[in-house]
Structures are given as structure tokens and as C-alpha cells.
Structure 1
Amino acid sequence: MSRIHLIAPSGYCFAQDAAQRGVQRLTEAGHQVSNQAVISRRFQRFAGDDAARLDDINQLATLENADIVMPVRGGYGVTRLLENIDYSAIATRLRNHPLVICGHSDFTAVQLQLLATENAITFSGPMLAGNFGAPEMNVFTWDHFWQAITSPEFTLCWSSASPACQAQGTVWGGNLAMLCSLLGTPWMPDIDGGILVIEDINEHPYRIERMVLQLHQAGVLRRQKALILGSFSASKPNDYDNGYDLFAMIAALRQRLAIPVISGLDFGHEQRTVTLPLGASGHLLCHDGRASLTLKGHPTVNHCGKIYSHH
């Protein structure tokens, strides 16, 4: 049994039924879900005004009786809060009393800031409404979430028509748009020799390419050992593209970038998604149409709710 604390630092949860279904699914599995009042909180398009949403995050520094922190959903909002988040206090709490923090999408900015400023590891993975509250829970997503946050070391394997390669380094990244939004700010992680993993939703292939090239032209990609592409949901091209689709875009990136570009990982806004510890140590291996990524060095929680740190 784990104690899950909800936060809502981004957009209003318009899918209230999905969020409630997520709470029910988790509680029926034996877990406690606290702070449910944030599910219905609303101010304009946001899940509460800036002060309330900022308090959700800063309260993590003194949070008790919780093992897992999870946003209700993504959507724009955390960018408004960045200057006022007390990363040092949150990181001190995490060092003294480790906490599994898991989310994705807009929440990526908070996760990368914690990594950049305090070297704190969080998990990029499912959230309450979109994943745990889906009409039918994806079995892979459910199983892998609990595996990732309870195992001090685990390996992902997937099919990938990618060039043979091997790399070892810090695994980091998350939502591509949020990653690019941090360029030039104090909250962009300064990582050399890393394995960068990216995903996004509702971005046309040319916009994905433009953001990846922004990372390339800013000097970020040349400092990495590999780039792993997750899912890019709703990226369908149109007639104007004349054959320029996601596959053509990936082929163009492979020709241009000096690092391996590995595709095919189930990671992102789809119902089927892996859970990745951002900031953990990773070992990537690609060979004969198969890819594997072994991760270790991240905090875990056992089924009785106790958190362990493996640094």
C-alpha cells in the first residue's frame, strides 16, 4: 500500500470523471489518495490561482504521510511559478525523507528544475486523470509504473529500427516543448554525456524537428551520447507535407545529428507508456533491431510505503 498525494500545478482538470475514476482505481488497489480537493479547484483555465498552485509544489518541502506525489494532469501553468518555487527546501526534504514524484507534460519543467538546481531525481510517467483515470487502464502502464518506482534497477526493451550503438550516462528529458522552453533559463539542466529522452503531443512533424534542431543549435545535443525518441501523439501530417511525415523527419535528424537517434520507445502521452527516472544512471544498447535501456540509482518505494534512496 502506498500513500499518494495529489497536486494540481497546471491546467484545470476538465475530465473530472476521469480523475475520480483514477482515485477509485488506486484506492480499490489498496492505495491511499490524499489532497483530492485539488481535482475540482479552478481559476480561469488553471487548476487554481498561481498562489494555490505554487503552494501545491512548495508544500512538498514539509509534506508528511506521503510516499508518492502525482499531478492530476498537465496543461499550461507551471511556467508562471518557476521563479518562486523553493527548490532548495524541497531537495532538502527529498534528501532527508525521499519521495517518489511522478508526472509528465507541463510538469516536466518542475522536474528538470529540480534536476538542474538540486540534482534531484523524479519520475516521468503516468498521472491521475489521463492514465490512471482512463476508461480502461493500460496493463503495461500500470505494471511498469509500480516496477519502476519499486525496483532499484530495471531494464526496458523495445523494437527499434535504429543504428547499432552503446551509451552510458544520465537519463534526462521529458516533454520536448517544455525542455525547449527552459533553454536560456537557470533551470535548464547542464548535463554532459547524457541520454536525452523526449516526447510530445499535438505537434506536427516539422515543429518537432524545429524544436530538436533548436536543442542542436543551442549546443545541447552535441554534449549528449544519444537521443531517444518516445511517442509523438497526434503528429499526423497533411497533404501539403507531400511525404514529409514523422518517419521522414526522424531520417533527416539521423543524417544531421552526430549522435545516435533511437526511436520506438513507448514514452509520452499515449495510454501505453513507460516510467523513467529523470536523473538516474542509464545504459543504452541497440543491436539487430532491438534496444534496451537499464536504469539504476533512483529512489524507490516498497509496497508498504517505505521510501529508499539508492544514491
Structure 2
Amino acid sequence: MPKRLDIRLIAPSGYVSDRAACLRGIERLQAAGHTLHGLDVVERVHLRFAGTDAERLDDINRLADPAQPLPDVAMAICGGFGANVLLGDIDYAGLAARFHDAACRFVGHGDFTAIQCALYAKAGIASLHGPMLVQDFGGTYLRESTWRQFWQALDDPRIDMSWACLEPQPDLLVEGTLWGGNLSSLCSLLGTPYLPRIHDGLLYIEETGEQAYKIERMLYELKLSGVLDGQRAILVGGMGGQRVSEYDNGYDIDHALERFRRVCGVPMLRGLVFGHGPDKWTLPFGSPGVLEVVGGTATLSALSRPYAPVKAAAPLPL
């Protein structure tokens, strides 16, 4: 059983559209003994956002205020759109100062990827790519594996995960910095100071609801912009929600990924479950990791703590 934590809810993107799921998520976390702060954010609605730009920005910047106690976890309630709007006004210096020796962890995925990238690029703050309040903890059926693995990432200094590669994969042993998230969000930051310049990366990507050709196009954006030049491997997570039209002539997400895998110049692995979808591993963003493939089985070992400053973390042994 995880220790009891202070969890602050933050809403940098869309508003809560599924009230029942939101209430289930709150009740489950409270029933597990955790204290939730910021419950007011689940009530905010402004256009398609969880509040005005100023309100959503304050969810992040209040964590830089030394007069406010830091929680153990700052959890995004849901994704959507809206995080990019905030990036230019986040108090990176204030957050860096507070998080230097703090154990507070940001967690989220989807649109929250933009916030995670910016925090790492501008303030050296690592985070967790993991479950959110509404669609994960508030799901009709709470996935035991998602729940267990999330608390493991919070409690244990190191996490290990293994999976069967979906395609034939030569044996591999590489180490690097784990980072990534939602593919659309990553591409939206190309050419900006908010996309981390990581030259030893273990890049993980996921997406939902985008057509296969759009995913292939976004992958080429990463390649043609030079982002992949610094990556030692690409881990592909959930890629659901595509529709195949008559015009596609059978071209689907499997074709798109296989076509790109042949030209990307970086080992590209599928099979690890993360991102959108009910089952997901919680992955560190900005922590060192080791990826090994032997006989078609991949193993990823990563430091899940400390989260800041990431440069102080000891390397994992190969």
C-alpha cells in the first residue's frame, strides 16, 4: 500500500466533461488515504478550457510560491488542449528554485506533454508521464496494473519493466535519458525553446485519434528537424483511434510505423503499454534509463527518483 500523499490537482488544459468519472477518481484516491487539494479546478469551465488562461497558469505558478506548501504530487486532471498557451508565462526560475531539493512530482500525459517538456528544457525539472484523475483513476473499471505501477514509480527509486517486442528486433543495449510523450504535443514545440535538446535520448511517443498518415508525417517532422539525431531508441506506445478509409487502400498505423522504422535510423520498438488507454506504465521524464533487448524481449530500467535536479542522479549500471 503506498504511503499517504498530498496530491494537488492542476488543470492546464481541457475541462472535465465526464462528471461521474471525475468523482470516481476523487473518491478512489481519497479512499486510499490520500489528501486532495485544488478540488475547485474540476469545476472550472471557460470555452473548451478548464478556466481562463490566467487561472490555468496559476495552477502551475503557485507551486513556485515559497509561501505555499508543496504537495507530493501535482496531477493533471485531464488532457485536451491549452497547455501550449501557458508556456511563455510559467515561472521557470521560481519553480527551479523550489524543486531543487523537493520531492514533488508532476504527473500527466497527452496535452500535458508540453508542460513537461518546458519544465525540463527551461528549469531542469523532471516529471512522470502517467495517469491522470479523470480518464485513469476515474475510469469505470480501475486497472489494477495502472494503479500499482503508478505507486511503484512514486515509491521506488528504480523501476523495471519488460515486454515482448511486436516486430523482430535485433539484440540491443543502450542507455540514455528517458523523455517524450504525446506525439502531437512534441511536434507542436519544434523550433521553440520549450522542446528539450536531448542528445542521448530514449524517446517514447504515443498518440490517439490521429490518422495513420498524420502520425507518419509527424514522425518525419521529428526526423527532418534533427530531433532523432540525438536519440538512441524510440519506444512506441498506444496509437489507437485511427479510421481506415477506402482511399487508404489498406494503409493503416502498422504500415505507417513500419515504413518509418525502415528509414528513421534509430531502433524503434513497440509493445510497451503507455499513453492513452486504460492500461499504462508510468514512465519517468528526464531520468536516466537502460534499454536492453534480448531474443525479442525488451527490458527498460529507469531511475524514478530523484526528480530534481536530474543532473545529480547517479547513472544506472549497464
Per the normalisation by structure 1, the TM-score is 0.94
- Please report how far the alpha carbon of residue 245 of structure 1 lies from its aligned counterpart in structure 2 after TM superposition: 1.4
| Alpha-carbon distance in structure 1 between the residues aligned to 2:158 and 2:55 | 36
Counterpart mapping for 1:223-302 below 5 A: 223-296=230-303, 298-299=305-306
Identity %: 41
Q: Which residue of 1 aligns with 2:156?
A: 151
Q: Does 1:190 align with 2:193?
A: no
Question: Is the deviation greater in 260-269 or in 290-299?
Answer: 290-299
Q: Describe the SS at the equivalent of 1:208.
A: helix
Q: Which residue of 1 aligns with 2:130?
A: 125
Report the residue type matching 1:14 in the other structure: S
Counterpart mapping for 1:154-169 below 5 A: 154-160=159-165, 161-164=167-170, 165-169=172-176
Question: Is the deviation greater in 265-274 or in 92-101?
Answer: 92-101
- Please report how far the alpha carbon of residue 149 of structure 1 lies from its aligned counterpart in structure 2 after TM superposition: 1.3
- Please report how far the alpha carbon of residue 236 of structure 1 lies from its aligned counterpart in structure 2 after TM superposition: 3.6
Unaligned runs of at least 5 residues, structure 2: none
Report the residue type matching 2:169 in the other structure: P
Kindly indicate whether the alpha-carbon contact (under 8 Å) linking 2:154 and 2:304 is maintained by their aligned counterparts in 1: no
- Please report how far the alpha carbon of residue 222 of structure 1 lies from its aligned counterpart in structure 2 after TM superposition: 1.8
Among 12, 29, 33, the residue aligned to 1:26: 29
- Deviation digits for residues 218-242 of structure 1, max 9, x if unmatched? 0111221111101012124233222
| Alpha-carbon distance in structure 2 between the residues aligned to 1:140 and 1:186 | 36
| Alpha-carbon distance in structure 1 between the residues aligned to 2:219 and 2:6 | 37
Q: Does 1:214 align with 2:217?
A: no
Q: Which residue of 1 aligns with 2:107?
A: 102
Kindly indicate whether the alpha-carbon contact (under 8 Å) linking 1:169 and 1:281 is maintained by their aligned counterparts in 2: yes
Q: Does 1:86 align with 2:94?
A: no
Kindly indicate whether the alpha-carbon contact (under 8 Å) linking 2:156 and 2:304 is maintained by their aligned counterparts in 1: no
| Alpha-carbon distance in structure 2 between the residues aligned to 1:51 and 1:256 | 43
Among 130, 134, 139, the residue aligned to 1:134: 139
- Please report how far the alpha carbon of residue 217 of structure 1 lies from its aligned counterpart in structure 2 after TM superposition: 0.3
Q: Describe the SS at the equivalent of 2:234.
A: strand
Kindly indicate whether the alpha-carbon contact (under 8 Å) linking 1:162 and 1:263 is maintained by their aligned counterparts in 2: no
RMSD: 1.4
Among 208, 216, 219, the residue aligned to 1:201: 208
| Alpha-carbon distance in structure 2 between the residues aligned to 1:76 and 1:65 | 26
Among 13, 16, 20, the residue aligned to 1:13: 16
Q: Describe the SS at the equivalent of 1:96.
A: coil
Among 161, 170, 176, the residue aligned to 2:177: 170
| Alpha-carbon distance in structure 1 between the residues aligned to 2:21 and 2:151 | 20
Report the residue type matching 2:89 in the other structure: N
Q: Describe the SS at the equivalent of 1:273.
A: coil
| Alpha-carbon distance in structure 1 between the residues aligned to 2:63 and 2:113 | 16
Q: Describe the SS at the equivalent of 2:262.
A: helix
- Please report how far the alpha carbon of residue 97 of structure 1 lies from its aligned counterpart in structure 2 after TM superposition: 2.2
Among 65, 77, 82, the residue aligned to 2:82: 77
- Please report how far the alpha carbon of residue 184 of structure 1 lies from its aligned counterpart in structure 2 after TM superposition: 0.5
- Please report how far the alpha carbon of residue 65 of structure 1 lies from its aligned counterpart in structure 2 after TM superposition: 5.3
Q: Which 4+ residue blocks in structure 1 deviate beyond 6 angstroms?
A: none
| Alpha-carbon distance in structure 1 between the residues aligned to 2:295 and 2:253 | 22
Number of aligned residue pairs: 303
Q: Which residue of 2 aligns with 1:305?
A: none
| Alpha-carbon distance in structure 2 between the residues aligned to 1:65 and 1:55 | 14
- Deviation digits for residues 159-202 of structure 1, max 9, x if unmatched? 11242222110011001000000000011100102110000111
Unaligned runs of at least 5 residues, structure 1: 301-308
- Deviation digits for residues 75-117 of structure 1, max 9, x if unmatched? 1111111110011211211113220110011111010011111
| Alpha-carbon distance in structure 1 between the residues aligned to 2:89 and 2:32 | 36
Q: Describe the SS at the equivalent of 1:108.
A: helix
Per the normalisation by structure 2, the TM-score is 0.92
Report the residue type matching 2:147 in the other structure: W
Report the residue type matching 1:23 in the other structure: I
Q: Describe the SS at the equivalent of 1:171.
A: strand
| Alpha-carbon distance in structure 2 between the residues aligned to 1:193 and 1:231 | 23
| Alpha-carbon distance in structure 2 between the residues aligned to 1:269 and 1:48 | 23
Kindly indicate whether the alpha-carbon contact (under 8 Å) linking 2:179 and 2:204 is maintained by their aligned counterparts in 1: yes
Kindly indicate whether the alpha-carbon contact (under 8 Å) linking 1:6 and 1:36 is maintained by their aligned counterparts in 2: yes
